[in-house]
Amino acid sequence: MNTPLEDQVHDALHRRADPIQHAPLSVTDVRHRARRIQRRRAAVAGVAVAAVLAIAIPVGLSATGPGQRSDVPPATRTSSPSPVPTVTSGTVTVDPDSADVVEQAPVPLLDVDGPTLVTADGTFDLPHDFSTITPYLDGWAGVGVYDEADKSGDYIELLGPDLRVDDEGSPTGGLVVRPDGGRIAWSEYDGTRWRVVVADPAGGSEPVSTTFQPSSLDEKVIPLGFVSDDTVAVRAMYDSGDPKTFVAGGDQPVEVPGLLQADAASAGVIAGSTEIGPDGTCFGVVDAVAGGDPGWTTCDHRLGPFSATGTYVVGTSTEAEYGSPDITVLDAATGEEVLTFEAALPKRTVGGFWTQMTWVGDEAIVARISIGNEDPQMMLLGLDGSVQRIGVAASGVSGLTVAVPS
């Protein structure tokens, strides 16, 4: 005999599954969703407590050292407002060998060769490689990376509190997190078409699915960032070589014109390439609703990511083959250069900053730097001109990456 909760779940799932043209769900999808709804309702009180703790105790202020392991990791994001940073100008040289060392990262990191998740509250084993991982419901959501005969590429996966995979996963174009941690979004492919899911990681509301037209697996839909509280900008790749920009978060995706290829997004705006000429590629920022002509352009920097409030945007080299030799922070409203971090690269030495990086509020950037054959290092680059090396040891030569890229 079904309980009232089971009956509600059953009816709700049928209402969501019947209009198949709007939200194509397989039987497996429905079963997984039922289990997740039941688990979420049982765990919502605990998640609420974890969210309060995450706000009260920002990452990096815990008394627990990064070397300790624990069975159940805590939430790793904080929605605490960032203080107004002191901002310098000019060019700052980044030399990992001479930089001051900070023993703890202000954001979660991934140890590629572990593979492990490294937070201020402990180091936690992962079942396999992930490029992105973030708290979701009573567990985690992540982009698993596979290189196997029957499974290759990126897959969106849901994990339990113990970081074991609960959901087998679907091919994905990536996962993004709203800067305050209040929403996450990912894309998934069901064998016929792509859809984008926007979800509340605390379980306070049902996920919203936006379905795209039938396409192939290779025509990926790639989430770029949130442009409002509940909508996310995405790049849809097509075999014609003509990528399109859309905003997802409702029944239908809404196309945004003005860019040749979108690369990053923030509240109200989307950044990407605007033209390709004989002298190179130019980039600009367009309105996330109207699109059209960019508010400003630059041919000196590839744009993205944006800082937490959208005040600044990163500019990197437009011709970076082995990493960008510098990171320039630009005023996101005008395109004016604010500050440049330049890698200390000896002559005839390749290297630079890896483009997977993340902001710490509006005050600093966590970025990976590689110089020649030396092991890659994680750096904390403050807009006040400070340069620090994050002294978290990696377990192998692949080094560390950020767990949630901006």
Beta-strand runs (E) in 122-203: 122-125, 130-136, 139-147, 152-159, 170-171, 175-177, 184-189, 193-199
Nearest to 258 by CA among 284, 227, 225: 284
Record the tokens describing residue 243, joined without a space: 């990528």
Provide the 10 A C-beta neighbour count for residue 199: 19
User: How far is residue 403's CA from residue 197's CA, in Å, rounded to a whole number?
Assistant: 20
SS3 66: coil
User: Which DSSP category does 324 fall into?
Assistant: B
* DSSP character string of 207-254: -EEEEEEE--TTS-EEEEEESSSS-EEEEE--TTS--EEEEESSSS-E
What is the domain range of residue 232? 4-402
Tell me what pLDDT residue 46 has.
38
Nearest to 95 by CA among 393, 388, 399, 391: 388
DSSP bridge partners of 195: 188, 211
What angle is formed at CA 231 by the lines to CA 226 and CA 233, rounded to 5 degrees? 55
Nearest to 198 by CA among 221, 215, 220: 221
Tell me what pLDDT residue 386 has.
97
Instruction: Considering only CA atoms, give the Rg of the chain.
Output: 21
Q: Are 318 and 281 in contact (CB under 8 A)?
A: yes
Tell me what pLDDT residue 242 has.
86
Tell me what pLDDT residue 239 has.
74
Q: How many Cα atoms occupy the beta-carbon half-sphere of 398 within 13 Å?
A: 13
Per-residue pLDDT of the chain (406 residues; tens, 9 = 90+): 444 444 443 444 333 333 323 334 332 343 344 345 444 444 443 333 333 333 332 333 333 333 334 444 444 444 445 455 688 999 999 999 999 999 999 999 999 999 999 998 899 999 999 999 999 999 999 999 999 888 889 999 999 999 999 987 899 999 999 999 999 999 999 999 999 999 999 999 999 999 999 999 999 999 999 999 999 999 999 877 789 999 999 989 999 999 999 999 999 999 999 999 888 899 999 999 999 999 999 999 999 999 999 999 999 998 766 789 999 999 999 999 999 999 999 988 889 998 889 999 999 999 999 999 899 999 999 999 999 999 999 999 999 999 999 9
Give the torsion through C-alpha atoms of 56, 186, 153, 214, to 10 deg: 180
Q: How many Cα atoms occupy the beta-carbon half-sphere of 150 within 13 Å?
A: 0
Nearest to 382 by CA among 71, 58, 115, 106: 106
Q: Are 99 and 389 in contact (CB under 8 A)?
A: yes
At 372, the amino acid letter reads: G
Record the tokens describing residue 192, joined without a space: 């016929």
Return the CATH number at 331: 2.130.10.120
Tell me what pLDDT residue 81 has.
52
**How, if at all, do strands 337-343 and 90-94 pair?**
parallel
User: Which DSSP category does 25 fall into?
Assistant: -
**How, if at all, do strands 291-298 and 302-306 pair?**
unpaired
User: Which DSSP category does 309 fall into?
Assistant: T
Total number of domains in the chain? 1
pTM above 0.85, yes or no: no
The residue written with tokens 């941690």 in the block is: 181
Q: Are 120 and 25 in contact (CB under 8 A)?
A: no
Tell me what pLDDT residue 22 has.
32
Helix 27-56 vs helix 4-17: angle between axes, to the nearest 10 degrees?
110
Backbone angles phi, psi at 46, to 5 degrees: -65, -40
Q: Are 245 and 270 in contact (CB under 8 A)?
A: yes
User: How far is residue 237's CA from residue 248's CA, in Å, rounded to a whole number?
Assistant: 15
